Structure 1
Amino acid sequence: MIKLQYNVDSKRISTRIEQLAGCSSTSVGVTRLPFTVESLEAERLVEEWMKAAGMTVRKDGLNNIIGRYEGKNPTASVLLIGSHLDSVIEAGKFDGVLGVITGIEVVQTLRDNGVILDNPLEVVGFCDEEGVRFHSTFLGSKAIAGTFTAEDLERADENGITIAEALKGIGIVNPYDYKNARRTPEELLAYLEVHIEQGPVLEKENKPVGVVSGIAGATRFSFEIIGKPGHAGTVPVAIRQDALLGASDLISYIENIALENKPLVATVGKLTVSPGASNVIPGLVTGTLDIRDLNVERKQKAIDAILAESHRIAESRGLQIKFDQVMEVEPVYCNEGMIKLIEEAISERSGSVVSLVSGAGHDAMAMADVTKVAMIFVRCKDGLSHHPDEFVTEEDMGVGAEVLYSTVIKLASKQ
């Protein structure tokens, strides 16, 4: 058994994250879209740090940057550690980046202690997870998992530039080289990801880190409520066909369903009222409903209940309510064996273990198509993310790195 050395350098992690924050197209927050000047600048820094940690560095056909730390058995399956380097518009400094820099720090710590594991390690900075530029998420991890397609190359940004054209713009002559990024299940031992929680649970529990049990599946609908517009001053309230009142009933019911089925979450995130005049009874309301849960059966029961209630509301108020499903994403369960190792590492470092379900999507979702996955969450202030004020303490980053270090050693070395 390799003796664990908890001498990760949390200050180095923090300093590097600050440096990457400077690779931004905006002065407020961090804006770093894939295949841009800013992303290339960030990749140059990451490459420098990977090499300093003793890794050989390459880029694959979709511009994921990968550092390899060789194992005792170079032909053994690879333990992949990673997250993404892109951001949303005016984002915080830590989302995605924390996982990449923590992975590099773990390898640096191994090298500094002269530790070579049985299995090779690779740290990957995925080119695009957020999907902001091309309106499709997990592009980098999908390429490695083998689920990126030729059709994806034709996705265009708001300026009409396709992924294929963007790849050529950064020097990838043949965009179809994305096929070379694909890894097989035989090549990979597992995938590990450290990420900020992006929620308030760890802070509420006063814990620096937690283990992720799985990533919730999501069902998304658009809906339309059709009533009858009329004069706000002349139509009695009792006989109105007010589409907005129908929406109010529906939204209240959705909240109650979510509260009755924790940890399921349900969100009406967009609502448009027509004709939108102060003196006209609303005749049409359109909106969106997003429902997420790790438990597929519970999620479906909640959906069925909401749809049934919508019919009751429509009948009682003289409305028409129509739902159209626009998205279905299956949940991903983290590997039980890997969860156990993470729990052991957390117990050794910070006592009791908090288990969380991720309601947000992560690269681990895409990687689950090719290998077993697990995630470590790190506490963030106020649960805030996708915002310039996103913040993680240096101490918590250090704990996250120590937990990852311990887990990596146990996974990639013979017991």
Structure 2
Amino acid sequence: MLTLIKNVELFTPKKLGKRDVLFAGKTILAIEEDIEINSNLEFAIVDGQGFILAPGFVDSLVHFSGGGGEAGFASRTPQMNLTDATLYGITTVIGALGTDDVSRTHTDLVAKAKGLKQEGLNAFCHTGSYHLPIKTLGHSIRHDIMYIDEIIGVGEVAIADHRGTQPSVKELTTIAAEARTAGLLSGKRGTVSIHVGTGVEHLQLLHEVALSSEIPLSQFYPTHMNRNAELLTAGIAFCKAGGTIDFTTSTTEYDLANGELAAAEALAYCLDKGVNSQQLTMSSDGHASLPIYNEQNHLVGFEVGSESSLLGAFQQAVQQFNVPLDLALQSITSNPARILGLNKGEISVGRDADLVLLDANTLTPHSVWCNGQKMVESHKPLVSGFFS
């Protein structure tokens, strides 16, 4: 069916002003100042007055098959449901394993990605986890990236964290080289997602890989870069050397009171320091375990990440920290899509109709389309997951 959104404020994420947008099936057909339909075919017209039309959000780190729990087996986090994403404007998710790659497996991760795709979401994932040697679903990193459609990279590999296996320069270089080659051979990006802990070495290991090999810093995608001011400073230097960084929107009151910066604040701070907006992203870390450690690395609390935090951080960036709307949108749409090599995160003719209609005043999603299918209308799900 043809769908025409009329007189809407369009952000592609670049601001284009008032436009009409026409799509059918999963494809955007036209973007013009005024589109009229004269057809005996069935079509729907959506009044976009008072709304902003933006690309569907790309959440670059979600533990959608559930995460391991640092408080024992009972604390393993649950799986994500479809509406945990769609109700908050998210149309693309990238899953990963983290601390637990024993009771949580790649078999389940890829199966969950396929299930989310069956329900109507765009879903991808990484091979590997925090630990080395890298565990994979098939024979190797190359095999997984080349032959499994859903697998687009490696991660999240842990550095500067007491829960990781403390990788060497040589080990991380080998992983990045294998992922990069597999990406070249399969038309993927082969990005290496890096979990960065609170260790004082920060991103030094990534710089050493780039200095001692032909692997560029852009092959790595470090996340959790808003853990503290020192790490954020290291992240700014990483960007100025050619890398990109990601801020985690799920957090705890304890962590914020003990030095962590809100993702929106970190985004605004980096922009103020002159970092190119295309080098900055935000992700939810949804359904991850959020262990709270004191200075002695003793567990003192435990919470669970939420995909909804991505929307909250976007709203906070614009409404509280005065980040321009187009730059805030970039951080959760076109930027993560480009870094991961996905043909998502932008609105243009011929692209997939992954769209979110936002209330212009509150920036709350009113309607959400994924590949042209309407998933949410009037803040309520039209499509629910199999068990929700």
Normalized against structure 1, the TM-score is what?
Answer: 0.27
Structure with more helix by fraction: 1
* Higher Rg: 1
Structure with more strand by fraction: 2
Normalized against structure 2, the TM-score is what?
Answer: 0.28
Where relative contact order (Cα < 8 A, 6+ residues apart) is larger, the structure is 1
